[in-house]
Structure 1
Amino acid sequence: MTIMNTDITVAIIGLVGVLVGAAITSFKEWWLHKITRKDTARYLSALLVSKLDKLSLECSHLAGDSGKEGEDGYYYAEHKRPAFELPMEDVDWTSLNPQVQLSVLNLPYRLESISAAVSNEFEHDSPPDFSAAFQQRRYLYAKLGIEASHLSDELRRTFGFPRCTAYDWNPVSYLEETIQSIDQIRERSQKSFNEIGV
């Protein structure tokens, strides 16, 4: 009986050893995956923060663009629409929060939509200054610039990245002022139309 109990004890100890070893290996793999995923998310976020900041800055240029008169007397945009290239190689988009993923991945579509809306405005506005079209262009890009900046700020907070303080000028304040100014102009215009019964 003693030999049998010893065999059972050895078997149980061996089984517990195998289970503990498997648990340690599983925990180690889980931990390494978690660290790698966090590093991957941090790297992708660093790439995105720089691209989002650039997009916000470029949108601020467009938000201030009321056109410049050409030699033919017509007004032309001084700034081209911003380009926004998504990093697609060597990144794992699933490492980011799904809402952030969607917001960032949707930006190229948003740029196309704004471009189409602005083109439509120019087709239906009055030359030579196209004031309503430029106003709408300024407004839409100001809104997009603020959205890009908020996304950048969210990624900065999540990963502890510092805010760029290379200059005193804040593009977001400028974009917000642009939107507020255009909203006031539109409100006054609507009020005038309502007063004359249009």
Structure 2
Amino acid sequence: MDEKYIFGLVGIVLGSLLSAIFAVVRDLYTENRAKKKEAEYLAIRMICIFDFFMEGCASVVGDDGLYHGQTDAEGYSRIQVTPPQLDVQLDDVNWKSFPPELMYEILYFPNLIKDAESYISSTFENAASPPDYSEGFEERQYQYSNLGIMASELTTKLREKYKIPKSHIYSWDIVEYMNNEKDKIDQLRLKREAAHKTMFATVNA
């Protein structure tokens, strides 16, 4: 077989192979770039949704059942702040652009809210006493401080992963406020538990 023919054939094969490899690399690059853009867009949407939810949580944490420091006309404490809603079921985004663990954390969050509401309802029904229902409001403040803090942690993950700057529109630190309120309740519960143990020890002595 003619040597020139062999070299020509090899050249054709190599050229076709290189063209195919280039096409695959180009398609992968285009796909990855599009997926990155979709992930960034989804991250921005989620940050906005969870930031709004976090603001609502802070409002609930500040609700002690009083309106301008006063009970209602009958002397009862009443819920003043409606709990924030969280809707993450978006149909116009590509959820597969997110890593599975991040997608799960976001989509599972509504279940955490349901669990918190269950604790709150149970406390109001079984432990809280009128007219102030202090146990119920305490549990409500505690659960929503937890939810707000977790929402903040999630938005921090999204901002760091997709390099989205933090907004500076707040004149106060919402997360610090919720952490402080949660710590106050934790300390109160520890003192309450210690007092109960002391009382039971005295009774059983």
- Structure 1 ranges of 4+ moved more than 3 A: none
1:23-62 to 2 correspondences below 5 Å: 23-62=21-60
The residue aligned with 1:75 is 77
In 2: Cα distance, 1:171 partner to 1:100 partner: 23
The residue aligned with 2:171 is 168
1:153 to 149, 156, 159: 156
1:86 to 76, 85, 88: 88
The residue aligned with 1:98 is 100
Distance apart, 1:87 and its partner CA: 4.5
Distance apart, 1:176 and its partner CA: 0.3
Q: Retained in 2: the 8 A contact 1:118–1:133?
A: yes
The residue aligned with 1:8 is 6
Q: Retained in 2: the 8 A contact 1:59–1:142?
A: yes
Amino acid across the alignment from 1:113:
D
TM-score (norm 1): 0.94
TM-score (norm 2): 0.91
Amino acid across the alignment from 2:173:
N
In 1: Cα distance, 2:7 partner to 2:92 partner: 51
Of all paired residues, the percent bearing the same amino acid is 27
1:194 and 2:192 are equivalent in the alignment: no
In 2: Cα distance, 1:17 partner to 1:163 partner: 49
Any unmatched runs of 5+ in structure 1?
none
Amino acid across the alignment from 1:145:
G
| 3-state SS of 2:150 partner | helix
Q: Retained in 2: the 8 A contact 1:47–1:87?
A: no
Q: Retained in 2: the 8 A contact 1:142–1:175?
A: yes
Distance apart, 1:126 and its partner CA: 1.1
Give the number of aligned pairs. Answer: 196
